[in-house]
């Protein structure tokens, strides 16, 4: 059981950005992708999410054997793939609680109804982990939320949807250290043998709090190096210059 990406090629506006990327994320593992700006990290997450600016030209991506590219965007999500940015940034007039409830309802088998008492109990429990004030349940989704509050809310959405594979693209950007720790706490609470994570980050800092099993370096649309968590520390210290040296050699 894994999220399996093989020889993935993808274009934006006719320019190839992903150039044969392969990566396997088995359930139970946390993989991190690091890499210089412009290497295609966000392109990878958007291609997996099904963003329509991106054209897949070769290769495959499967989730527990199911071809992701056969599924519509919302079907990918209901099949258990979570990508925070695929949710609307703001939903005026819809409370956070109702938004989450509708998303949960959409994932139930036909005819089954959410148990409201259980739902609220679970939501409050998770909000406590994320140190979120209860007032956020009544407020419109992300409307007037600060950057840190939006990120926490993303993680709350992820916790409530209980996906099989979670993709976090630069979840750490713009977070102060306290917010970062809270976000990491939410992710760590969700780690499980039934779930895989792909954490994309430009900085090593996040990985102090979310310890990855594997770290991959992406450059020019491909994974060029993989290692354990010590690779992230190495990159923090020495930067990405080794990529240029390898290209020159």
Binding site for ligand ADP (CB under 6 A): 12-13, 17, 35, 37-43, 53
Closest distance to Mg ion from the beta carbon of 95 (Å): 31
Give the whole-angstrom CA distance, residue 179 versus residue 214: 24
In the complex, least distance from residue 122 CB atom to ligand ADP, rounded to whole angstroms: 33
Name residues whose C-beta falls within 8 Å of residue 207's C-beta, 6 or more positions apart in sequence: 32, 199, 201, 215, 229, 232
Residue 168 contact among ligand ADP, Mg ion, none, beta carbon within 5 to 8 Å by kind:
none
CB nearer Mg ion, residue 11 or residue 42 = 42
Rounded to whole angstroms, the Cα distance separating 167 from 173 reads 15
Q: Which of residues 129-188 bind Mg ion (CB under 5 A)?
A: none
CA distances from 214 to 34, 132, 223, 231 (A): 11, 30, 12, 9
* 54 or 82: CB nearest ligand ADP: 54
Question: Looking at beta carbons only, is 37 or 238 nearer to ligand ADP?
Answer: 37
CB 45 to Mg ion: min, Å: 8
CA distance 20 to 134: 45
Minimum distance between the CB of residue 202 and ligand ADP, rounded to whole angstroms?
7
Footprint of Mg ion on 5-64 (CB under 5 A)? 37, 41-42
User: Smallest distance, Å, CB 204 to ligand ADP?
Assistant: 15
CB of 50 to ligand ADP, least distance (A): 14
Q: Compare residues 31 and 41 and give the one whose CB is closer to ligand ADP.
A: 41
The smaller minimum CB distance to ligand ADP, of residues 41 and 126, is found at 41
The count of other CB atoms within 10 Å of the CB of residue 43 is: 22
Owner of token pair 């600060």: 146
Cβ proximity to ligand ADP: between 41 and 152 the closer is 41
39 touches, from ligand ADP, Mg ion, none (C-beta below 5 to 8 Å by class): ligand ADP
Count of beta carbons in the 10 Å neighbourhood of residue 94: 14
According to DSSP, residue 53 is labeled: T
Starting at the edge strand that comes first in sequence, how are the strands of the sheet with 2-12 ordered? 15-26, 2-12, 54-63, 66-67
- Decide which of ligand ADP, Mg ion, none touches 35; Cβ closer than 5 to 8 Å per partner kind: ligand ADP
**Cα–Cα distance for residue pair 32/215, rounded to 1 Å:** 5
Interacting partner of 238 out of Mg ion, ligand ADP, none (Cβ under 5 to 8 A depending on kind) = none
Q: Show the tokens assigned to 75.
A: 């079907």
Task: Catalog residues that contact Mg ion under the rule CB under 5 A.
Answer: 37, 41-42
């Amino acid at each position: 059981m894994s999220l399996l990406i093989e020889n993935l090629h993808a274009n934006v506006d006719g320019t190839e950005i992903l150039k044969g990327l392969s990566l396997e994320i088995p359930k139970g593992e946390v993989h991190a992708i690091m890499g210089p700006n412009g290497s295609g990290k966000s392109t990878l997450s958007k291609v997996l999410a099904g963003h329509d600016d991106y054209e897949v030209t070769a290769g495959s991506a499967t989730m527990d054997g199911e071809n992701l590219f056969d599924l519509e965007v919302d079907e990918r999500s209901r099949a258990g793939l979570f990508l925070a940015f695929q949710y609307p940034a703001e939903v005026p007039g819809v409370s956070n609680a109702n938004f989450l409830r509708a998303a949960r309802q959409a994932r139930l088998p036909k005819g089954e109804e959410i148990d409201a008492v259980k739902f609220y109990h679970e939501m409050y429990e998770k909000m406590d982990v994320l140190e979120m004030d209860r007032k956020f349940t009544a407020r419109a989704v992300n409307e007037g939320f600060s950057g840190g509050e939006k990120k926490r809310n993303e993680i709350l959405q992820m916790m409530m949807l209980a996906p099989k594979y979670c993709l976090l693209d630069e979840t750490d950007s713009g977070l102060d250290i306290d917010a970062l720790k809270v976000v990491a706490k939410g992710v760590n609470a969700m780690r499980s043998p039934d779930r895989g994570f792909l954490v994309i980050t430009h900085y090593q800092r996040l990985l102090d709090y979310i310890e990855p099993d594997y770290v991959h370096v992406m450059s020019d649309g491909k994974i060029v190096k993989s290692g354990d968590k010590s690779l992230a520390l190495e990159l923090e210290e020495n930067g990405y210059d080794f990529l240029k040296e390898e290209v020159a050699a």
